[in-house]
Amino acid sequence: MPTCSRAAATLTAVDAILYLLQSQEVGRAPPVAINLNGGRHHAQASGFSYVNDVVLGVQRLLSKGKMKRVLVVDIDVHHGDGTQEAFYYSEKVTTVSFHLHEPGFFFGTGTDTEIGAERGKYDNFNVPLQRGITDEQLHGVSSAL
């Protein structure tokens, strides 16, 4: 799927969330939408894509005024560096990235000391993992958050 189509799919998922928020009864759980082929979170000069659909989606959610805060959870082998960079100073977006982090592995970013800054301090969480982590270990780490 071309990058722009992925971004369009993410923005369509965001529009579905906004529609559900508008039509939903008060007190019910907030809606969730997932674009399994999205998540081009590396969009920056050192990354793999030129459109960060995650950032575009979060910005749309916040700009419509229906959500005060957004949580982005990134679970894959690479650090969500582009998403982290976009919201590092924001108190409106909490980012959590579970990723491989070991010597010599590209990018070399995403340590647990990268916690956000200024108004976004403590709204950025990196969970650097070593190769070979078991399901039980990952569950323990994610439960601790």
Q: Which helix (H) or strand (E) holds 142?
A: helix 135-144
Pick out the chain residues at pLDDT < 50. 42-43, 45
pLDDT of residue 118: 98
pLDDT of residue 3: 57
Q: Is 42 a catalytic residue?
A: yes
Ramachandran category for residue 130: left, alpha or beta (phi over 0 → left; psi -120 to 50 → alpha):
beta
Q: The domain that contains 25 carries what CATH number?
A: 3.40.800.20
Closest by CA position to 20, among listed 9, 10, 32, 12: 32
pLDDT of residue 58: 93
The domain tally of the chain equals: 1
pLDDT of residue 84: 93
Please tell me which residue in 41, 42, 78, 99 is annotated as part of the active site: 42
DSSP code per residue over 15-71: HHHHHHHHHSPTTSPPP----TT---TT-STTSS-S--HHHHHHHHHHHTTS-S-EE
pLDDT of residue 48: 59
pLDDT of residue 98: 93
**Could you tell me the residue range of the domain that residue 108 belongs to?**
3-144
Rounded Cα distance between 111 and 41, Å, is 17
Q: Taking the model in full, what pTM does it have?
A: 0.82
